[in-house]
A and B are shown apart, each in its own frame.
Chain A
């Protein structure tokens, strides 16, 4: 299980727990003190990330697209910040 914590500058704290296989996300848990509206989207986001390759830009794009589709708002962290923290957790040996 890879773990990473990332403090967004001027924003909030993101924590990622990640299991990877063949450079793809097998299981992921996103926690932290950021805001996501609507809140229930967090589980859907985690599910949507399963199977995605650990590529920072692609992950950020996937997250951004899901946010747009659902009319969701992130406060205190951006899709890029989440992607960055996911990569940090992935790089931790998974």
Chain B
């Protein structure tokens, strides 16, 4: 009997709800209320997320975000600032019990194991990708996916981004740059170091096709079957609470 995990496709939500539901899923998993879970989601409005230890004021041009209707939120996980474009990016998350065979005490090793699902998924689209420590997935040396993991309450919670389309100039219009003089240089560096699914394949890949490929990648890499499901009431109500009381608050987002 092949191991079954839950698959959630929660569609488009705002940044605060997206991060709140991720935390609610991890909590639900820790209480054994739900099975191990993979979730796909998108961000609408588009948003910038920053790592747990980053300073919102130093990393994000919040005035530019406000003007452009772009949300900004602090993640529960470490790592760097990410621009989540409504049309150009898919995010996944997963919650797995820490005692699962896929999880090692070694966090670096676990990144590699969990990222192998994305690599197989990209492979099935015809994109040869590889893992690059600490937490990146590259195609021919260019980054296509960044990932971040946390562990709490006996649960490994990893989320990450898969780029369908990339627009470095737009990204840097929302992030703080050390000086205007080097803005063009930074944009150029990202153009050279970051790629996307559409640019790898030379065609537009839709979200459904991408999710289908990734689902297959997760199933093959992990030796599991993903069964489509819904968030449970516990997750929905905890997410609604965390959205208002944590992720949408200035206190959380500007705490560092």
Contacts and interface: CB of A to CB of B under 8 A. Distances in A.
Interface of A: 11-13, 15, 29-39, 42, 73, 75-76
Contact of A33 (B54, B107, B149, B151): B54
Interface in B177-213: none
Interface string B29-69: 00000000000000000000001111100100000000000
B256 A31 contact: yes
12 contacts: A13-B80, A29-B256, A31-B55, A31-B256, A33-B79, A35-B77, A35-B134, A36-B78, A37-B150, A42-B53, A75-B107, A75-B108
A69 B53 CA distance: 21
A15 B58 contact: yes
Contacts of B79: 33, 35
Contacts of A11: 134
Interface residues of B, number: 22
A84 B152 CA distance: 29
B164 interface: no
Nearest to A39: B52
Contacts of A75: 78, 107-108, 134-135
B7 interface: no
A10 to B, nearest CB: 8
Contact of B150 (A15, A29, A31, A39): A39
